[in-house]
């Protein structure tokens, strides 16, 4: 299979630093962004309002996702869905639905269609293993549960959402376990991915480390 140098995959568990690295690389390389977790969250959001799967797919294809002030803003028919999609409630439903074959199959084509000539940085759980197995540059980020919970806590607090640290640690552990042990597309580094533990690294450190390893750009 031909390796696609202009696809960079960044996989890993929640709050491992994937989102920040993905945005930094996109801005540096002028590549397009795919935050696949956001698509799973959108899937959950539309599922919750009881849409049928064809309608969900169509709505997801019509989302308008843009980086503004270093944040991904999701608009749908003029409505800003960002906070709804980033809530812990949506994350839990997204995690449950993401274990189902139909959900993954419905989102596979949508994700692959985002590949383009300008280049793509794809952030998720199975970007390097399933969605873009021929990506030329694959990374898998990890960090301790405590550090990840702290990062998520600050992120949600900045967004004005009140959460309890203990609940957050429990949620993250539960979600990790579900993501790692599911049958379809479990959370795993691809064989050819570089694994990076970001627990004691700043974003700048992760960014410059990754940048040096990227080939063919």
Residues engaged in binding ligand C5P (CB under 6 A): 14, 36-38, 40-41, 91, 94-95, 98, 124-126, 175, 179
Quote the least distance from Cβ 216 to ligand C5P, whole Å: 23
Q: Backbone phi, then psi, for 152, in 5-degree steps?
A: -65, -40
Q: Which two tokens stand for residue 92?
A: 């839990």
Quote the least distance from Cβ 55 to ligand C5P, whole Å: 20
Q: Which residue is nearest to ligand C5P (CB)?
A: 37
Q: What stretches of the chain adopt beta strand conformation (E)?
A: 4-11, 32-35, 64-68, 71-76, 79-80, 120-124, 135-142, 194-197
Residue number, 6 or 41, with CB nearest to ligand C5P: 41
Residue number, 75 or 108, with CB nearest to ligand C5P: 108
Residue number, 39 or 210, with CB nearest to ligand C5P: 39
Quote the least distance from Cβ 1 to ligand C5P, whole Å: 20
Residue number, 75 or 93, with CB nearest to ligand C5P: 93
Quote the least distance from Cβ 185 to ligand C5P, whole Å: 6
| CB neighbour list of residue 71: distance below 8 Å, 6 or more residues apart | 82
H-helix segments, 62-202? 82-86, 88-97, 101-112, 145-158, 165-181
């Amino acid at each position: 299979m031909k390796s696609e140098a202009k696809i960079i995959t960044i996989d890993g568990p929640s709050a491992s630093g994937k989102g920040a690295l993905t945005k930094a690389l996109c801005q540096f390389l002028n590549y397009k962004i795919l935050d696949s977790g956001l698509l799973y969250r959108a899937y959950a959001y539309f599922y919750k309002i009881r849409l049928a799967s064809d309608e969900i797919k169509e709505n997801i294809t019509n989302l308008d996702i843009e980086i503004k002030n270093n944040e991904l803003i999701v608009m749908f028919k003029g409505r800003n869905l960002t906070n709804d999609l980033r809530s812990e409630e949506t994350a839990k439903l997204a995690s449950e639905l993401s274990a189902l074959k139909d959900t993954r199959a419905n989102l596979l084509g949508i994700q692959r269609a985002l590949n383009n000539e300008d280049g793509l940085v794809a952030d998720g759980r199975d970007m390097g293993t399933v969605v873009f197995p021929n990506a030329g540059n694959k990374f898998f980020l990890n960090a301790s549960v405590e550090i990840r919970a702290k990062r998520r806590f600050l992120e949600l607090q900045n967004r004005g959402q009140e959460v309890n640290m203990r609940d957050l640690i429990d949620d993250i552990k539960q979600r990790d376990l579900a993501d790692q042990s599911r049958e379809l597309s479990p959370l795993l580094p691809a064989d050819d991915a570089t694994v990076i533990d970001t627990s004691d690294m700043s974003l700048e450190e992760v960014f410059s480390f990754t940048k040096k390893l990227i080939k063919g750009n």
